[in-house]
Amino acid sequence: MQSYFDRHTELHDSVFDNFISQEVNVGSCQMLPENHDFVPRLSVLKRNLIGEGSHRHVSTMIKFQSQQSESLSQILSSCDLIVIERLPTGVFADPFELQRLVQRRVFNEVDVFGDTNLELPSFLSNRSAVEIHPAVDPNKLLEPTDMKIELPLHARYQPLNESGYSMVELGTPDMLLRCSAKEKSKNQSCFFKLTNNNADVTYESDVLWRIPSGKKAHSDLVFAITFSAALLSTLVIVLSSLEYSKSRASKDSKQS
């Protein structure tokens, strides 16, 4: 993701797909035998949202298909699963919150790219992406092992909507497997793109997030209440300042 944003200022799906296909040497692995049959695939991919309101977790549960290559563990020293969540403009991930998850060893590495301004409303923000590195044991790739990843997300302030809600869709994440060889060589890493081809893919309506938003019909009432509260707070501050000045002047006159 850092390489992508070094060249592009914003995240566009078509541009990013071209970048992955051209810049990342996916599927080529010179450190494996020419007759190897190691092609990691997913057998299960499940996506859903956890929680309610404007602060939720997107949960991704994956299971690898069983691999028949018994010599794989003798060649590979370690593998990293790289999960890239391309977020729409309506939601964001808090980089500080994610770093706390790294400190707790929930993830090996995680970072946010793109628009990281946490205060912007939806209609003024750009898209962002989260790159997650959970740990994967290469020996586990030989078995149909479940892995669950939960990413905390937060909703931005949404445009006014008469229904009182805005709908934001979270697409399927990009998943790459980066494996390293035990023996040192010029080509120590291999990249494999995990797909859900022939997988039992289940998720809830492409993971639709129903985010609360304001209604235009309520805008006048909200403005009146906000203005009244701000005016009252200002008057309290002014009166408190005047009272403090009087008491201070009275105290100084007594001392003199």
38-90 pLDDT, tens digit per residue, is: 667 777 788 889 998 889 999 998 887 765 555 556 666 667 889 999 999 99
Domain edges within the chain: 2-212, 216-255
5-9, 16-20, 63-67, 200-204, range with the lowest pLDDT: 200-204
Q: Which of 57, 34, 59, 35 is nearest to 45 (CA)?
A: 59
pTM: predicted TM-score of the whole model, two decimal places: 0.77
Residue 150 β-bridge partners: 59
Quickly list H helices, the chain. Answer: 2-7, 13-23, 72-75, 95-103, 219-255
pLDDT tens, residue by residue, 175-230: 888 877 666 555 567 777 877 665 565 544 468 898 887 777 667 777 788 889 99
**Helix, strand or coil for residue 220?**
helix
